[in-house]
Each structure stands twice: as C-alpha cells, then as structure tokens.
Amino acid sequence: MALDQSTIVELAQWLQSPAGRYVRRWEQAQVDAMVANVFGYHAIQIGLPEWDLLSANRMPFKARTHQESSPGNRAAGVSLVLEPENLPFDSDSVDLLVMPHVLECSSSPHQILREAERVLVPEGRLVMTGFNPWSLWGLRESIPGLDPLLPSPVHQQVSVARLKDWCKLLQLEIDRGRFGCYAPLCQTQKWLERWAFMEHAGDRWWPVCGAAYAVSAVKRVAGMRLVAPAWKRKRKRRERRQAAVASRQAHESGDAAGRQGAAIAATSTERAMEIIQHESGSRV
C-alpha cells in the first residue's frame, strides 16, 4: 500500500489543532468554490472522509473513501474502502475527484495522479489540496534541531510547480489555483488571531508563499467536442422549430395578403373596364 497510514492518522489529528482548523477553514472555502458548479453524476472524495469536501456539489452520487476498513468508517461518512493507487472504477467514469492532502501521504504520488486521470471522464475535474514546501511553514520545518509541527515531512510535500509538471505529462490541465494561510505556524488560536492581518497582506504581496494550496485540473482529451447538456440541446431544438414555424406562418400570411391584393386589383380593373364600356356605349 503506497499510502503511509501513520501520516494519514497524524494528519487527521493535526487538523483538529488550532493550526489545523485554520488550514481546514481556508481549504474548505476554496474547495467549495471549485466544486460548486461542477456537473455530472459521480463525485468521489479520496481521503479524510471525516471532512466533507463534497457538500457544495450537487451531483446525485457522492462518496467519501478511506484506505482501510475500520469500525469508525460509517460514523466518518465512509462509503468505499479503496487504494488510491489502484482505483476500483472504470476508465472515464468519474466526473469529479477531490483529493485533500493525498499526494503528500503517499510514496508513489505520481501513480495516484495517473489513476485519477484514468478514471476521470473527458472534461472531468480533479481538485487537490496540499502543503506548500516553499512557505514559511515549510522553511520552519526544514530548520535542523526544531521539532516538526506539520504531520507530513517537507520532503514528502508536493509543490505546485512539480504538480504542474506531472499534470502536463498526463491529460490534466490546471486551470484554477490559490495559495493561502500566510500566518506563522502558531500552536494557539490566540496567536493565530494576532497574525490574521497577514492573510490579506500575503495574498497581495507574497502570494506563492502560502502554507497551503488548492488547485483544480480538467482532463483534456484531444479531438473531443464539448456537447451541451441534453436539456439545453432540447431547448435549442424547440426554439429552432418555433422560429421555423413562425417564419413559415409569416411567409404564408404574406402570400395570402399578396393574393388578396391581386384579387382586389383585378376586380378593380374589371370594374373600371365595365364603366368605360358603358360610357362608350352611351355616347354612341
């Protein structure tokens, strides 16, 4: 199994700490915005099932997964137990995949990304979150002698630059992304609130140095043609039929008016000839 279960457990526990809740609030807001208008039928969240990142999406089938079976899975909202590097789904069958901090918990993140690309439908969407190793938090974790405060080591964290390179090798195009969480890595809520002003300053002045990131990628397939949803196609066909009927009716009305005008003109001509003949006969 490629995922490090100890890292996953530490991550789940860390997300309950003040710093973890800080990251969680930011990532929830970003993911909600990224998945809200993604349409389709099947949405899957891989990892951290106790954290619902599909709540803002409206697909009819949504599932949260875990890597191992446990008695607490049902309470955590787990629908499926699977291995992210070997997804049990058909190719081109999933419309939306959400993977929170999955790549940094794996010894083979590229294989997980390859599997995600395989199961996504053309134009399907993949949303990922992770820690940024090139942030103040990552710098602090790299200093020798300091106890680590993050659940995943810096050498396991996947930078956005590396993620872009991997996506280019596959059929994934990153079209949206944000960095966030610019406050120093504090262990108390009080100190995090004191540094809250850095959120807006960092977003403006050093945007790529946020401690966390959220990115959204689309599966692009060469030669594919986007087709509108069925209800839109039906509406367009109905509008075209209505326009054609209206045009035909207008044409028929014009023809009828023309025939009526011609009949009136002919009647007027015949009447004028009768009057002329009558007057000519009277003079004779």
- For residue 277, give the H/E element and its range: helix 230-283
> What gap in Å lies between CA 141 and CA 44, rounded to an integer?
32
For residue 132, what are the contacts with CB-CB under 8 A and spacing of at least 6?
A: 138, 157, 159, 160, 179, 208, 209, 210, 211, 212, 213
Of 167, 197, 219, which closes a domain? 219
Is 36 found in the same domain as 128?
yes
Averaged pLDDT, 90-100: 97
pLDDT tens column, 124-165: 999 999 999 999 899 888 888 888 889 888 889 999 999 999
- Mark whether 166 and 238 lie in a shared domain: no
Please give the model's pTM, rounded to 2 decimal places.
Answer: 0.76
Range of the domain at 162: 5-219
Identify whether residues 119 and 197 lie together within a single domain.
Answer: yes
For residues 114 and 179, membership in a common domain is answered with yes
| Selected residue with higher pLDDT from 27 and 204 | 27
